[in-house]
Structure 1
Amino acid sequence: MTPRFATDIITFYHPDFWGLASADAVREWALANPKDFWVRVMEALAEADVTGLELTFAPGDIESALRAFGSAPAFRRELAARGLSVVSAFIAGSDCPDWRDADNLPAIVADAERRAAFLADVGAELLVTGLPMRTTFGTRPPLFVDAAYMTRMADIAHAVGEAVSRQGVRLAFHTESNSTLWYERDIDLFMSFTDPRYVWLCPDSCHIALGGGDPVAVASRHAQRIALAHWKDAIKPIDVELTVDETVFAQQQPYMTELGTGIVDWKGWADAMSRTPGADTVLIELDEAADPVAALRAGRAVATAVVACPSRFAATSPAETAPNTR
């Protein structure tokens, strides 16, 4: 089976692609010109022969698409005219209700239902989210990611997963670095506490490797629950304690690399992905590519080759190439 290729909208956030001076300038311009923003993104996707898109935080969020085209069906028609479609949307943004506040459950569910309604109207079936971030190591009082914590997260995940399922949308959890769903143990614990009918997994090969884990082992253990995966490479596990604040995502960047140039075992990953419900989509994740068309074409070539002939990209697993420093 030949999969469809997709990418995250963040691929298009690099200021060089827009001829602007900074990421802030891109956000400001896209806010003022949402239709121009989306038309250029669509043209670049079509040029790269990548037909699927994951929406996330601004400027490539749900609100931006609605401002640009007026409605989800209109956005869907614009995409379809270019052979494109929405694969998923990531719950992101400063206005998202905090999962750590027990009183926020009604707001959390309502926020997810709103996003799920958009996805249903645009022809997509997958809402992706993550668990809250860890705190910086040494912070007092400490945040322990234990059974009690995961029980609370599972309760919220069940409520959200059931709510969006009524709209034909599945809820999948992304394995973000420095979050409470990062280490292999985190993922196993959360998956064991959640109902597979309502809670799915979106593993990220890069982030799992950055936590000193084995992405292939995770994908193999949870294959039946993987609705989508982010295909991304890592240079090595994160070997220092990062400060977990608004800069943490930038701090992670030096540990990431283009597909096929890092430590992810693409042979094993492709084999594991072929046995998942999400096998029909390969989502290539490239954070802020200066030349997104070239980067997507290169990533697509690697993924195409490894899916067709996995042995060409055999690599030693992260556990064998670098010590687990976590």
Structure 2
Amino acid sequence: MTPRFATDVITFYHPGFWAVESAEEVRERALLDARGFWKRVMGTLAETEVTGIELTFAPGDVGSALRAFGSAAAFRGELAARGLSVVSAFIADSDAPDWRHGDRLPEIVADAERRAAFLAEAGGELLVTGLPMRTTYGTRPPFFVDAAYMTRMADIAHAVGEAVSRYGVKLAFHTESHSTLWYERDIDLFMALTDPRYVWLCPDACHIALGGGDPVAVARRHTPRIALAHWKDAVAPIDVHLTVDDTVYAQQQPYMAELGTGIVDWPGWADAMSRTPGADTVLIELDEAADPVTALRSGTEVAKRALAAQLGVGGLREPQIDQ
């Protein structure tokens, strides 16, 4: 089985790619000309082997696609005309309801249903989200990621997962650095508390490694529930307590590496991924590549070499049947 390659639209957020000076200018330009933004993204992907996209926060979000093309169906048609398709949509925008506030459950579910309806019409099948962020270590009063907290998160996940399933969409959780689904223990606890029929996993190799975890071990423990994975590399585990605020993502950047140049065991990861329900998609995660074509070509080559290694030990396995 030969998987399709995909990437997150964040790949195209580097100011240099748009010949501007800042990320804010990229957003402003895309807001003024959403169709032009998407046309260039699609045209650039045509120069690579990547055919799948994951929507994310603005400007590569659901709202931007609708402004550019008017409807999910029209967006799907524009992609299909270029041999492209939507793989997933990541709930990463700032206006998404905060899961920390359990009294907002109706709003949380309605927001997810709106996204799932778009995804279903656009041809995607996965809604990816994360759990709320931790607080900075040492903050008083302390915030503990304990069984009671995870139980509340599991209750919300069940409600959202069941709601989006009615649209033929799966809900998968991303293992974001400094979130409450970061450490191996967080992932194991959350997975143990959630129903595998409604809650899936989207492990990110880089972020798990940044938390001092073993991405391959995590993938092997949760193989039947991995609907999608982010293939991303890490320089080393984060060994200091970063300040968890609006700058935390920028603080994490020095710990991230070009695919194949960091500490992730890619042959082991490829082997683990070949056993999952999400084996048919390899999503290469690149943050703001100045030269997306070169970066995506390089990333796909690393992934292909790792996958080819599996052919040398008996061939790629067929993915497990969805539960």
What TM-score does the superposition give when structure 2 sets the normalisation length?
0.96
The alpha-carbon deviation at position 214 of structure 1 amounts to: 0.1
Alpha-carbon shift at residue 176 of structure 1 (Å): 0.2
Aligned partner of 2:130 in structure 1 is 130
Q: Quick check: 1:62 aligned with 2:59? A: no
Q: Which aligned pairs between 1:47-196 and structure 2 lie closer than 5 A?
A: 47-196=47-196
Residue by residue over 1:167-192, the C-alpha shift from the partner in whole angstroms, topping out at 9 and shown as x without a partner, is 00000000000000000000000000
SS of corresponding position for 2:50: coil
Alpha-carbon distance in 2 for matches of 1:240, 1:17: 32
Which residue is equivalent to 2:320?
Answer: none
Residue 310 (structure 1) shift: 4.7
SS in 2 for 1:16: helix
**Alpha-carbon offset, residue 132 of structure 1:** 0.1
Deviation at 1:94, TM superposition (A): 1.4
Corresponding residue number in structure 2 for 1:18: 18
Alpha-carbon shift at residue 124 of structure 1 (Å): 0.7
Could you tell me how far apart the structure 2 residues matched to 1:82 and 1:305 are?
A: 26
**1:289-300 paired onto structure 2 within 5 Å:** 289-300=289-300
Contact kept, 8 Å, 1:267 with 1:311, in 2: the verdict is no
SS in 2 for 1:47: coil
Separation of aligned partners in 1, 2:253 and 2:181: 18
Aligned residues: 312
Where does residue 238 of structure 1 map in the other structure?
A: 238
Q: Separation in 2 of the partners of 1:55 and 1:94?
A: 14
How many Å separate the matches in 2 of 1:31 and 1:164? 28
Q: Distance in 2 between matches of 1:247 and 1:42?
A: 29
**1:203-225 Cα deviation digits (max 9, x unpaired):** 00000000000000000000000
Q: 2 CA distance for matches of 1:193 and 1:265?
A: 28
Where in structure 2 are the equivalents of 1:12-51 lying within 5 Å? Answer: 12-51=12-51
Matches within 5 A, 1:257-272: 257-272=257-272
Moved over 6 A (4+): none
Kindly report the root-mean-square deviation, in angstroms, between the aligned alpha carbons of the 2 structures: 0.9
Whole-Å separation in 2 of the counterparts to 1:74 and 1:38: 13
Stretches of structure 1 lacking an aligned partner (at least 5 in a row)? 313-326
Q: CA deviation at 1:311?
A: 9.6
For the pair 1:281 / 2:281, whether they are aligned, the reply is yes
| Secondary structure class of the residue paired with 2:47 | helix
**1:4 matched to 2:4:** yes
The answer as to whether partners of 1:266 and 1:310 remain within 8 angstroms in 2 is no
CA distance in 2, matches of 1:310, 1:277: 17
Instruction: Using the aligned pairs only, state the percent identity.
Output: 80
CA shift, 1:116, in A, is 0.1
Tell me if the contact between 1:182 and 1:211 (Cα under 8 Å) persists in the aligned partners. Answer: yes
**CA deviations over 1:238-292 (Å, ceiling 9, x no partner):** 0100000000000000000011100000111000000000000000000000000
Question: Paired residue for 1:212?
Answer: 212
Quote the residue 2:321 is aligned against.
none
Q: What are the ranges of 5 or more consecutive residues in structure 2 without an aligned counterpart?
A: 313-323
